[in-house]
Amino acid sequence: MDKPNEGRSRVVIENVQPQINCGLFPIKRTIGDLVSIQADIFGDGHDHVRARLLWKEEDASIWESVAMLPLGNDRWQGEFPVDKIGRYRYTLVGEIDHFETWQSDLKKRVEAGQDLAVPFATGAALLEQVQPRASEQDSARLAGWAKKLRAAGQDEAAVQFALQDELLAMVHRYPDPAIETWYERELEVVVDRERAGFSAWYELFPRSWSPTLGKHGTLRDVAGRLDYVAEMGFDVLYLPPISPIGKSFRKGKNNSVEAAPGDEGSPWAIGSAEGGHTAILPALGTLKDFADLVQRTKQKKMEIALDIAFQCAPDHPWVTEHPEFFKKRPDGSIQYAENPPKKYQDIYPLDFESSNCPGLWDALKDVFSFWMDQGVLIFRVDNPHTKAFPFWQWVIPELKAKDPNVLFLAEAFTRPRVMERLAKSGFSQSYTYFTWRDTKEELTEYLLELTTTPVKEYFRPNFWPNTPDILPAHLQTGGLPAFRFRLVLATTLCSNYGIYGPAFELGENTPFKPGGEEYLNSEKYEIKQWDLTNPASLKPLITRLNQIRRANPALHSNQRLHFHTTDNPMLICYSKRTLDGSNQILVVVNLDPSLVQAGWVEVDLDALGLAPDVTFEVYDLLADHSYIWRGSRNYVALRPAEAPGHVFRVAPAAI
């Protein structure tokens, strides 16, 4: 076995964090973030160690470098900024710091009153060793300093000269590659635009947005009523599939197996003689209508998110053009979708073990590319966990190479490891279990998992109180007060959230059957008529919460989420703050939709950067009312019929 660099690389680098699956997957950040890296870096003996963090944009040839700082116990930390969308690489370099070791030893020799002639000569030799690597000007300076050290005496001035930071900085400018230890791999970070980390989604079915009672809505109708969504402060308008809907085995109202004449079917049963995934249902309009909607949405400072569902109705053109894309029964017929005992005769799943896998992958990529060419840069992907992981690992980077601004939301209410793998594979955001987390303990535990464990490096949660598929039990039984407090939780706990509207703002909460989560008369299977002028609508609360989110940078991130103790299990309290502490939000929510809940909040003053027993102002941004609190222990009472919670902006009290 060859000797490793004659044993001169004496530094060890290990336990580098963050990294995902030993560097197999990149971590995620949004533009403007600081990427903080920690590692255990140490060497043998008592020599000092120097550690540097290196980073570069993926295609750059030159590494940028920053010195890492010791945290104690051989743990080091460094940071670098990411100011462009795309991929970055980072790695670490360590070396024995001979000159800093020499300066440290010199201090000890001075304190011990030892003769300094030999140490000064040793320091001079170290400076001279750097000269060949230095620029002409710096080499001359190093030579002058070395000469001065060799001629130095025992006086204080000589010692001060030898210990000055300028000498050490010059040596650090020209590290010795012969003694460096490079970390064994380069790690990656994917940097997305801001909307990946902070967004508010509004989902609607275009066919239900006609202003004329009983008429099928169109894309033009949606464009004409965009003010309704824009006024509430949403920035992402999410549309379920707009492609032609299959006619064979079409589902009827309430998911009945047989459709009655005039039933519209499910938008997720994609494809008919009118076209497949890249066509538009004629009743909704034309490709030009869609282009006009995209442009109109941009004018309202929003953008379209389009649902991509990789499944086909029996009428889809691929069924005849590419029968190899589908699984076959023993009799040769195509296998429809099943989740025993449930059967979905109106859908054919795609076979990711197809004999024509390359053709299938290219066809699916082309679907995304087509809609990207129409101006769509956000996709909500239906059931991505039922498609092969390697496909997502391939197609998402391919599409980001086409346009790095493209974002993907994974609709995968499935097992935790599966959801996490999809996030690792490239999905920008992910649906979560928030919809089913009810108690203070459940919410606290889940949010701590999302924000303090390694999943925070790659899993960006998006909180939805409801979806067209999910009407949770607490909304069924809690009425509008439950909708209110779940909205406050979603908008303030998570930087990305969405609602299925108008079902949400109008408090739609009748289940198809007791104990189930499907809506009665679900919009998935029929056109709905929504009274957007209903005075009981939650639109004012939604609007105010979106205004609060935009105006308070603390709510733009899931970092620095901190839970505070309450003595009432029905009251949950938490805070968020910006890195510099200039914006601090403290939230208290009543988790009981029926009863007044009161109790004492034990504010963790350290988490808010407040001194003990300090007097501070908490300004309720929902109620437009200010309170003066003192110290950590403060009283709250919340009446669900009046207010779902307090959203306080915290500031030192005016004197």
Decide if 201 contacts 462 (C-beta within 8 A).
Answer: yes
Q: What is the DSSP string of 75-140?
A: EEEEEEE--SSEEEEEEEEEEE-HHHHHHHHHHHHHHTT---HHHHHHHHHHHHHHGGGS-HHHHH
- The pLDDT of residue 7 is 63
- The pLDDT of residue 547 is 98
- The pLDDT of residue 2 is 63
Catalytic residue set: 382, 411
Q: 4-191, what's its fold?
A: Immunoglobulin-like (2.60.40)
pLDDT tens digits, one per residue of 11-68: 999 999 999 999 999 999 999 999 999 999 999 999 999 999 999 999 999 999 999 9
- The pLDDT of residue 653 is 72
- The pLDDT of residue 4 is 58
Q: Is the peptide bond before 18 cis (omega within 30 degrees of 0)?
A: yes
Decide if 125 contacts 165 (C-beta within 8 A).
Answer: no
The residues spanned by each domain of the chain are 4-191, 193-314+356-531, 556-652
- The pLDDT of residue 343 is 79
- The pLDDT of residue 654 is 61
Q: Give every residue of the chain whose pLDDT is below 50, as ranges.
A: 655
Tokens 């997305």, residue located: 192
CA of 32: how far to CAs of 29, 82, 83, 194, in Å?
A: 9, 6, 5, 8
- The pLDDT of residue 652 is 83
- CA atoms of 575 and 603, how far apart (whole Å): 9
Q: 556-652, what's its fold?
A: Immunoglobulin-like (2.60.40)
CA dihedral 591, 594, 596, 602 (to 10 degrees): -10
The CATH class of the 193-314+356-531 domain is alpha beta
- The pLDDT of residue 50 is 97
- The pLDDT of residue 341 is 79
Q: Please list, in sequence order, all residues whose beta carbon lies within 8 angstroms of the beta carbon of residue 399, skipping any fewer than 6 positions away.
A: 365, 368, 369, 372, 406
Please determine whether the domains at 193-314+356-531 and 556-652 fall in the same fold group of CATH.
no
